[in-house]
Structure 1
Amino acid sequence: MSVQTWTWILVGITFALYFGIAIWARAGSTKEFYVAGGGVSPLANGMATAADWMSAASFISMAGIISFAGYDGSVYLMGWTGGYVLLALLLAPYLRKFGKFTVPDFIGDRYYSNGARTVAVICALIVSFTYVAGQMRGVGIVFSQFLQVEIIWGVVIGMCIVLVFAFLGGMKGITYTQVAQYCVLIFAFMVPAFFISFQMTGDIIPQIGMGGTLEDGTYLLDKLDALHTQLGFKEYTTGSKSTWDVFAITLALMVGTAGLPHVIVRFFTVPKVKDARKSAGYALFLIAILYTTAPAISVFSRTNLIETVSETKYSEIPEWFKNWENTGLIAWTDKNGDGKIQYIAGSAIDGKKPVYTEARGSYGERLIANASAAKNELYVDRDIMVLANPEIAGLPNWVIALVAAGGLAAALSTAAGLLLVISTSISHDLIKKQIRPDISDKSELMWARGSIFVAILIAGYFGINPPGFVAATVALAFGLAAASFFPAIILGIFDKRMNKEGAISGMVVGILLMLFYMMKYKLDMFGGGTQDDWWFGTSPEGFGTVAMIVNVVISLVVSRLTSEPPVEVQEIVENIRIPSGAGEASAH
């Protein structure tokens, strides 16, 4: 059967499963909508957390960005993995014991202020919208290839499907849907890795194959280094980032993880604190399966891409290339007139993405209107590497289709979780807690679902016009979370003296500083800026570390210059850190 037929079959089966679960587990109350009724088992919650965590950035884009950045891309692995450990051990149990549905709820009650709650709601919306933009782009990429349409229509179709998942079931439906999505995405990620590892090195385990030898006895990484240097790229296994920037990006991703509202809320869906700890352990193991495999996928896909397209005549290029060319995510322009694909260092285009003309070239290629003066003729969107990898390697059609189903599972699971955070921030933390405290359960659910509808429209727009590749866009969301939430949460748990004035000041300054830097150096606003102008040599992806430090300093200084928190608040802070009887105390 063809790839298209296999894709229809596998995507159809998995989607039927997701929709069936969403309908079966649809929420009937606000508690079911927000935290799945608080009765999810640790194993199920661990699988759902892993699916929620491993978004399109992890499945589609992380291996892709590592395949192009090489050693420099390892910051994503270190930051995201270390961040989850930090969250599981340092924050999740205490937040679960505090017993609130959302991060703004925790901040509002811990800092005894609706002002703090409102600031937290705004921060949650900014972080979630930035994050969900990356997910919607991931959904669009998969659908654009699956249906052979432009990525804009891929995003639109994905918007409609995500809306159904989040609209019907709330957290209860999303949780059990994510259990199924984890099974699909991890199977889809690992099967091609096993195939390609065995095909290239004879080792079926990808982690071993990445460091293995090829048929001619050459080490795979040595061969990739040689291919890179021949084409003018830097060596794959050496980095170009400064030590400070590597540290800053890694730390921003770590503490940003610990402040992500859609991950934190997962620990409220289990009955007790000890169940939160267990589910965190399960999730860490399940996440590690994919994260330890991603570098191997990066090496395999990069090697296969270079060997397949470099100096190949366009008339002899494999079918997969032309399929992806139709989506606008890969492009070739014949700059020297020899009919061959010249893939060397340098940008093939002016701008972030190719601009196509209506006409086709003499070889049948799509013509680019914004080709650059550089000699490089090939543009490859980093986000296609995992999805195109099985096609490049010539794997069976059912494996190619399986990866498409896995990519959709990864993107849809996280997008649904993020939309739920957005809806609860508005309906629970803004409407219920501040504007209309007497609102009925039914009306609150209506507000929650209405918020999801508006949120998906905004998310779709940013999915079509993202500020970067999926992983880079998501990294900015982590920076925003690091700059705003992490200090307020960590100081709220471990510093009795931290008061509302300190927390509010820190969050406001932190989020504004990160937004300014992101807009200036990533989105070219406020006059734009180049890498030479970066503050302290810090990239936009790593600036969350600087903004977080500023947040902590301002929070501590302001809190010491203003009055202490009420005695009852200080007693709550003491209580949530007491382990004895924690399970019973928190079983709501």
Structure 2
Amino acid sequence: MSVRSPLVRRLWRYYAVYGVGFVGLIVSLAIAEQLGMTPRWIGQIFLFATIAIYALIGVMSRTSDVSEYYVAGRRVPALFNGMATAADWMSAASFIGLAGTLYYSGFAGLAFVTGWTGGYVLVALLLAPFLRKFGQFTIPDFLGARYEGHFARVVGVFAAVLASFVYVVAQIYGVGLITSRFIGIEFEIGVFVGLAGILVCSFLGGMRAVTWTQVAQYLILIIAYLVPVTILSYKVTGVPVPQAVYGQVLNELGIKELELFSEPRENEVRSMYRSRAEEYARKITDLPESLTTERAGQVQRVTELRTIGAPAREIAAAERTLRDLPRTPDEARLKWEKARQDSLARSVNPPPHAEAFSGADPAARDSARNNFLALSFVLMLGTAALPHILMRYYTTPCVRSARRSVFWSLFFIFLLYVTAPAYAVFAKWEVYSNLIGSNIGSLPPWVASWGKVGLVKVEDINGDGILQLAELTINSDVILLIIPEIAGLPYVVSGLVAAGGLAAALSTADGLLLTISHALSHDLYYKMVNPQASTQRRLVITKSQLLVVAVVAAWVASLRPDSILFMVGLAFSIAASAFFPALVLGIFWKRANKWGAVAGMLAGLGITLYYIVRTHPFFGGTMADAWMDIHPISCGVFGVPVGFLVIAVVSLLTPPPPPEVQALVDFVRLPDRVGTLPVFEKRL
């Protein structure tokens, strides 16, 4: 679409006004803070004002046209589709979780950066232009047409719903974190408050509303991401270009790490955590007797405290400890194993930030290297196979626009990812330099405020009143959110970061919910159950499914599942193993048939789910059962090759696809095949 077209000129004008207005809001709140506005009001204004903007765009973009609702009328310009895709892509995991992961993992965390950006190369080369030429609404649409019928479509629907649901739970969980901290409401209530913002954006206008909302959300999230680290960079180095100068701070951080790791009190604390881990191991081995002994001892302690007339606070703490004890041996094993792992992690020094695959043990270094490569592999292929991302390329006017859209997507994503390592370095420098070694009784207020929601913990295990590094636990999901407070920046910056995190979570949640509702209503209901359904009925079914899935996802998120980044990584493994082999071979290998595709998708997805159950503590698994010591987040590294192998073998052992399906492959893949195939239309 030409830059001079009326639509593009109008979009530039609208979003320019919107961007200037948002900057004006930031400046106004900064002035208001100086005049005495409370942090609570600043946080609420930021969050509710941005949600109101998204809701307004959603209402203005409402539609009852099927093409507009599913693919935004296929007229989104490449640049704006790239911006919307970037917002759809940069979820709470990227915005909130990535900086925290790099903070704790250092070099190893770069697997997320390389995997997520590298995946867009695969999207551009292998999938986006071909799926756009295919020209329908969903990924199961392609599977149903290419692999001759409903069997492959049903497997595709199941995998799309599963991957997207795991992903959307992580986003809504992120919304709960932000709203509970910055609005001051309970986490569980914050989840459903955020859900209302998600539904307003997607319910009335579908992909049309979500697209234009996501462009607005991208502008907010990138401003929110770049402003704090730019200020922090200027504060620490005197240069407001964090991407260029954080290497200097990284060198100084390496020296600081050596000082901390050799400090006697630090080593004393880590020895105490090692002893605690051994005690947990003993209690796990002695179950169920150890649980009975633990409960009896705690009951006796409560009785003694009451007998001697101890302070009410001390009695209440003892009663709470008794109440929180595991009820069954299985629950105790799960809880104590998690506590043991936590104590073990605190008993050793964290890896040096800039060192790749550190450690004296060669086996540990090899394991770290294998997991780095496995995670990069899964994230690249998962990126190229995520249904809610691939759906975005159906919205462009033509194949050429789809290719250009991938370029713009990668550019807009690059702006955030090239900055994330700087965030981690500056945050760690501030914590190591200004927090560690402080008197525990005079810690900054943010420690207590984030401690109330259970995301920052301080334990003076050696009782010296001084905070050691091992005694501080900061949840990786909140590193970015607390950086402004760690650095002592004005609260308006914290509110801005919260608004950006909310924009990232809402934008991705919108796309994921649409993917799930479209899969259930379009692919399952319309394509298989009631092909004669009217347009109005199809949209009613879509919206009802959207509402049901959103409420269920919010309920699951309110249970506080695993970390955001782990859930997102699991979604990538599911998408990679279920979709990538079937999509790539479906486009580039005519011999792939329906039996091979169905068997390959089921085998790849099955081995991935089996591995996660086998190795993740939530399902009772342990890393002792891992293959090649690969962590559960990278379980797709086994599913993808199995999927390719099974598709190839089964396809060669069964009859080839009919001529019309092979003609469909030529139509999708070859540039000289223009127009529409009659048989292709009939198959859809």
Q: Does 1:536 align with 2:536?
A: no
Q: Does 1:388 align with 2:482?
A: yes
Distance (Å, rounded) in 1 between the aligned partners of 2:120 and 2:254: 29
Q: Which amino acid aligns with 1:233?
A: P
Q: Does 1:309 align with 2:309?
A: no
Deviation digits for residues 206-237 of structure 1 (CA, Å, limit 9, x no counterpart)? 111210259xxx63454356546655222112
Q: Does 1:139 align with 2:172?
A: no
Choose from 492, 517, 520 the match for 1:423: 517
Q: Does 1:440 align with 2:534?
A: yes
Choose from 578, 593, 607 the match for 1:484: 578
For residue 379 of structure 1, give the secondary structure of its aligned residue in structure 2: strand
8 Å CA contact 1:221–1:299 kept in 2: the answer is no
Deviation at 1:461, TM superposition (A): 2.9
Deviation at 1:458, TM superposition (A): 2.1
Distance (Å, rounded) in 1 between the aligned partners of 2:242 and 2:555: 37
Q: Which amino acid aligns with 2:559?
A: N
Choose from 151, 166, 188 the match for 1:130: 166
* Match in the other structure for 1:325: 451
Distance (Å, rounded) in 1 between the aligned partners of 2:401 and 2:240: 35
Tell which structure's C-alpha radius of gyration is larger. Answer: 2
- TM-score normalised over the length of structure 2: 0.78
Give unmatched runs, 5+ long, in structure 2.
1-32, 267-348, 358-364
8 Å CA contact 2:573–2:608 kept in 1: the answer is yes
8 Å CA contact 1:198–1:209 kept in 2: the answer is no
Q: 1:331 to 1:582 in 2, by over 3 A?
A: farther
Q: Does 1:103 align with 2:220?
A: no
8 Å CA contact 1:83–1:257 kept in 2: the answer is yes
Q: 1:246 to 1:262 in 2, by over 3 A?
A: same
For residue 541 of structure 1, give the secondary structure of its aligned residue in structure 2: helix
Distance (Å, rounded) in 2 between the aligned partners of 1:522 and 1:23: 42
8 Å CA contact 1:112–1:500 kept in 2: the answer is yes
Choose from 232, 249, 252 the match for 1:219: 252
Q: Which amino acid aligns with 1:85?
A: V
Q: 1:341 to 1:150 in 2, by over 3 A?
A: farther
Distance (Å, rounded) in 2 between the aligned partners of 1:220 and 1:523: 34
Deviation digits for residues 305-337 of structure 1 (CA, Å, limit 9, x no counterpart)? 233432322321111111111222112233333
Q: Which amino acid aligns with 1:438?
A: Q
Distance (Å, rounded) in 1 between the aligned partners of 2:602 and 2:524: 18
Q: 1:133 to 1:213 in 2, by over 3 A?
A: closer
Query: Which structure's residues are more often helix, by fraction?
Result: 2
Distance (Å, rounded) in 2 between the aligned partners of 1:110 and 1:225: 58
Distance (Å, rounded) in 2 between the aligned partners of 1:221 and 1:584: 61
For residue 451 of structure 1, give the secondary structure of its aligned residue in structure 2: helix
Could you tell which deviates more after superposition, 291-300 or 3-12? Answer: 3-12
* Match in the other structure for 2:664: 572
Could you tell which deviates more after superposition, 302-311 or 253-262? Answer: 302-311
Distance (Å, rounded) in 1 between the aligned partners of 2:673 and 2:238: 53
For residue 155 of structure 1, give the secondary structure of its aligned residue in structure 2: helix
8 Å CA contact 1:329–1:380 kept in 2: the answer is yes
Distance (Å, rounded) in 2 between the aligned partners of 1:123 and 1:226: 49
For residue 457 of structure 2, give the secondary structure of its aligned residue in structure 1: strand
Aligned positions of 1:219-298 closer than 5 A: 219-224=252-257, 226-227=259-260, 232-238=349-355, 239=357, 240=365, 241-298=367-424
Q: Does 1:545 align with 2:637?
A: yes
Deviation digits for residues 44-64 of structure 1 (CA, Å, limit 9, x no counterpart)? 111100100101010000111
Choose from 103, 107, 116 the match for 1:80: 116
Q: 1:193 to 1:550 in 2, by over 3 A?
A: same
Distance (Å, rounded) in 2 between the aligned partners of 1:552 and 1:226: 50
Distance (Å, rounded) in 1 between the aligned partners of 2:675 and 2:601: 31
Deviation at 1:466, TM superposition (A): 5.1
For residue 87 of structure 2, give the secondary structure of its aligned residue in structure 1: helix
Q: 1:288 to 1:226 in 2, by over 3 A?
A: farther
Deviation digits for residues 142-190 of structure 1 (CA, Å, limit 9, x no counterpart)? 1111122342222222122212222122100000000000000000000
Q: 1:17 to 1:242 in 2, by over 3 A?
A: same
Q: Which amino acid aligns with 1:128?
A: S
Choose from 38, 48, 52 the match for 1:12: 48
8 Å CA contact 2:43–2:183 kept in 1: the answer is no
Q: 1:226 to 1:271 in 2, by over 3 A?
A: farther
Distance (Å, rounded) in 1 between the aligned partners of 2:675 and 2:48: 42
Q: Which amino acid aligns with 1:223?
A: K
Count how many residue pairs are aligned between Structure 1 and Structure 2.
550
8 Å CA contact 1:203–1:212 kept in 2: the answer is no
Q: Which amino acid aligns with 2:625?
A: D
Distance (Å, rounded) in 1 between the aligned partners of 2:534 and 2:145: 21
Deviation at 1:569, TM superposition (A): 0.5
Q: Which amino acid aligns with 1:290?
A: L
Distance (Å, rounded) in 2 between the aligned partners of 1:552 and 1:410: 33
Q: Does 1:58 align with 2:94?
A: yes
Q: Does 1:510 align with 2:510?
A: no
Deviation at 1:116, TM superposition (A): 0.6
8 Å CA contact 2:92–2:501 kept in 1: the answer is yes
* Match in the other structure for 1:352: none
Q: Does 1:91 align with 2:108?
A: no
Distance (Å, rounded) in 2 between the aligned partners of 1:321 and 1:14: 27
Choose from 55, 59, 67 the match for 1:31: 67
Q: 1:182 to 1:119 in 2, by over 3 A?
A: same
- TM-score normalised over the length of structure 1: 0.90
Distance (Å, rounded) in 2 between the aligned partners of 1:23 and 1:391: 36
* Match in the other structure for 1:522: 616
Q: Does 1:117 align with 2:153?
A: yes
For residue 633 of structure 2, give the secondary structure of its aligned residue in structure 1: coil
Post-superposition, which runs of at least 4 consecutive aligned residues in structure 1 deviate over 6 A? none
Deviation digits for residues 453-507 of structure 1 (CA, Å, limit 9, x no counterpart)? 1111221133233552111110110000111000010000000000000000011
RMSD: 2.0
Distance (Å, rounded) in 1 between the aligned partners of 2:189 and 2:234: 36
Q: 1:482 to 1:16 in 2, by over 3 A?
A: same
Deviation at 1:523, TM superposition (A): 4.4
For residue 528 of structure 1, give the secondary structure of its aligned residue in structure 2: coil
Could you tell which deviates more after superposition, 219-228 or 197-206? Answer: 219-228
For residue 331 of structure 1, give the secondary structure of its aligned residue in structure 2: strand
8 Å CA contact 2:666–2:673 kept in 1: the answer is no
Distance (Å, rounded) in 2 between the aligned partners of 1:583 and 1:568: 15
Distance (Å, rounded) in 2 between the aligned partners of 1:520 and 1:512: 12
8 Å CA contact 1:419–1:455 kept in 2: the answer is yes
Q: Which amino acid aligns with 2:219?
A: C
Q: 1:415 to 1:523 in 2, by over 3 A?
A: farther
